[in-house]
Amino acid sequence: MIMPEALNPWSSSQAIDTRRLFENFGIEPIDPLLDLLPEVPGFMRRGIIVGHRDYRPIALAIRDHRPFHVLTGFMPSGHPHLGHLLVMREVVWHVSQGGRGMITIADREAHAVRGLSWEDCDRFGREYLTVLFALGYRGEAYFQSKNNALKDLAFEAATRVNFSELQAIYGFESETTLAHAMSVITQVADILYPQVAGGPAPTIVPVGIDQDPHIRLTRDVANGLRYFLVEDRGDHISVRAKNAPEGGIRAVTQALPGSQAYEGHVDVRGMTYGAVSEIVREVERDLGGFGFFTPSATYHTFMPGLIGGKMSSSIPDSSFGFSEPVASVRKKVMRAVTGGRTTLEEQQRLGGDPDRCTVYELNRFHMCDSDSGLAEIRQKCLAGEITCGACKKETAERVLAFLAEFKERMDEVEHLADEV
Ligand code: TRP
Ligand code: SF4
């Protein structure tokens, strides 16, 4: 199988054809679920999150105040920058909606795939955590290389994955190092880890669309590690033993009053699918299994780099860091690629094109919280009522005000990163 570039986690391309994702990869649009949420955050209202897998259980958990986990991860291969802000905000928002937060610093991946030293991983990892805490994150966090329970879980997960799957999903070849494969299975473990540390519950993993291969693999592993398969057969619920230990079927039968046991499966009538699932999950846990919920994900698009193309720490002008000098940040915003016309006369007559403008994107993603404020920028641009120079200047002021306040908050919370 050939990997589409946009779905290769280690590729440098970020071009995405969203319709193809929906049609070919089973990712679904998020809009139909937004009505379930008590409060719809900007990144969902503004189309920044393009799709999801299984977000429904998360939306329901938020609505009904039931437990759920939220986890994401950062590879500490450079300084955190503007491009990381979105996923961090997604995590902070889900925690504010009742989620239990977990952050993984993927130092195994940075070391294995990008060749960073452990010292650098440690230094950059702390920077990521400081930014997160400054954004208001409150929850748990760990470095992959220091979490033994995670490594045990990765080993267990590895019993469900073979080399031909890694080859099909990631295009791994015979030259691929074992450490690269280990960093993949460590990420699978990351995504399942909240349910080991905090008990089984729906888990949302906000990620960029490039991480979907990991999500699909993890969903398969989560199912593969289950002892029982619960299926709705219309007039009854069927529970089948997959990898259950001796006595598994007997234990399920005893836990489900009125059920009928057969060779390798149990049929239940008069109970809902949800109720049977919960009881079976408890039996599985009693027998020593994980009882995982299949993890869910949301997928966001990427903010373009300020000079067009990809935003990346290896292209300094594409983005700015959180501790960068004022003059440097201002210069980057003032030089950003816009959707403006070549002459003032044309700009006034034809208007600009906000949909091809990195300055507009900066506002849409982060620098303009109010929807009416954003609509005003858009309208003025389209009507040719503002020049790009003036528009950039206003945006730069907002960026600098944000950074000034943010730096203070980073100083206040730096000690939290040291405690991880
Ligand atoms: N692979 C991710 C990246 O390149 C980092 C990561 C590691 C991650 N573990 C994770 C992301 C778990 C989401 C969930 O950025
Ligand atoms: Fe972009 Fe502003 Fe210029 Fe419009 S006016 S193209 S939003 S910089």
pLDDT tens digits, one per residue of 382-397? 999 999 999 999 999 9
Q: Is the CB of 14 under 6 A from ligand 1?
A: no
State pTM to two decimals: 0.93
* Sheet containing strand 100-105, strands side by side: 49-53, 296-300, 203-208, 69-74, 100-105, 140-143
The amino acid at 224: G
The strand pairing partners of 140, in sequence order, are 102
Using the mean position of ligand 2's atoms as its centre, give its distance from the Cα of residue 90 in Å.
Answer: 26
Token code pair at residue 110? 């940075």
Give the dihedral sign, CA 165/166/172/177: negative
Instruction: Give CA–CA dist 19/107, Å, rounded.
Output: 33
| pLDDT category of residue 1 using cuts at 50, 70 and 90 | very low
Substitution candidate for ligand 1 out of 81, 105, 153, 190 with most atoms within 8 A of CB: 190
Burial classification of residue 82, based on how many CB atoms lie within 10 Å of its CB (0-12 exposed, 13-18 middle, 19 or more buried): buried
Position 20 pLDDT exceeds 80: no
Q: Is the CB of 70 under 6 A from ligand 1?
A: no
Across all residues in the chain, what is the average pLDDT?
93
Burial classification of residue 398, based on how many CB atoms lie within 10 Å of its CB (0-12 exposed, 13-18 middle, 19 or more buried): middle
Using the mean position of ligand 1's atoms as its centre, give its distance from the Cα of residue 190 in Å.
Answer: 8
* Sheet containing strand 237-241, strands side by side: 228-232, 237-241, 265-268, 260-262
Question: What are the pLDDT digits (tens) for 174-193?
Answer: 999 999 999 999 999 999 99
Question: What are the pLDDT digits (tens) for 107-146?
Answer: 999 999 999 999 999 999 999 999 999 999 999 999 999 9
Question: In this prediction, what percent of the chain has a pLDDT beyond 70?
Answer: 95
Give the dihedral sign, CA 188/6/27/101: positive
State residue 3's pLDDT score.
47
Question: In this prediction, what percent of the chain has a pLDDT beyond 90?
Answer: 88
DSSP 132-161: HHHTT--SEEEEGGG-HHHHHHHHHHHTT-
State residue 14's pLDDT score.
52
Burial classification of residue 59, based on how many CB atoms lie within 10 Å of its CB (0-12 exposed, 13-18 middle, 19 or more buried): buried
The strand pairing partners of 71, in sequence order, are 102
Question: What are the pLDDT digits (tens) for 228-258?
Answer: 999 999 999 999 998 899 999 999 999 998 8
Token code pair at residue 300? 């966001």
Using the mean position of ligand 1's atoms as its centre, give its distance from the Cα of residue 218 in Å.
Answer: 12
Substitution candidate for ligand 1 out of 53, 72, 111, 113 with most atoms within 8 A of CB: 72
State residue 23's pLDDT score.
73
Position 53 pLDDT exceeds 60: yes
Question: What are the pLDDT digits (tens) for 58-113?
Answer: 999 999 999 999 999 999 999 999 999 999 999 999 999 999 999 999 999 999 99
Neighbouring CB atoms inside 10 A of 406's CB total: 16
Using the mean position of ligand 1's atoms as its centre, give its distance from the Cα of residue 124 in Å.
Answer: 15
State residue 32's pLDDT score.
94
Position 273 pLDDT exceeds 90: yes
Residues near ligand 2 (Cβ within 6 A): 338-340, 352-354, 357, 359-360, 377, 381, 386, 388, 391-392
State residue 2's pLDDT score.
41
State residue 26's pLDDT score.
83
Q: Whose CA is nearest to atom 6 of ligand 1?
A: 73
Please answer whether residues 265 and 239 qualify as being in contact, where contact means their C-beta atoms are separated by less than 8 angstroms: yes
State residue 13's pLDDT score.
53
Q: Is 413 left (phi over 0), alpha (psi -120 to 50) or beta?
A: alpha
Cα–Cα–Cα angle for 104, 89, 309, rounded to 5 degrees: 90
Token code pair at residue 286? 């009693």
Residues in contact with 206: Cβ distance below 8 Å, sequence separation at least 6, in sequence order: 49, 70, 72, 87, 90, 91, 94, 297, 298, 300
Higher pLDDT, 333 or 24: 333
Neighbouring CB atoms inside 10 A of 53's CB total: 21
Q: Is the CB of 251 under 6 A from ligand 1?
A: no
Position 261 pLDDT exceeds 70: yes
Q: Is the CB of 191 under 6 A from ligand 1?
A: yes
Please tell me the number of the ligand nearest to residue 71's CA: 1
Tell me which residue of 330, 328, 320, 325 sits closest to 389, measured CA to CA.
330
Cα distances (angstroms) measured from residue 153 to each of 139, 213, 222:
21, 19, 11
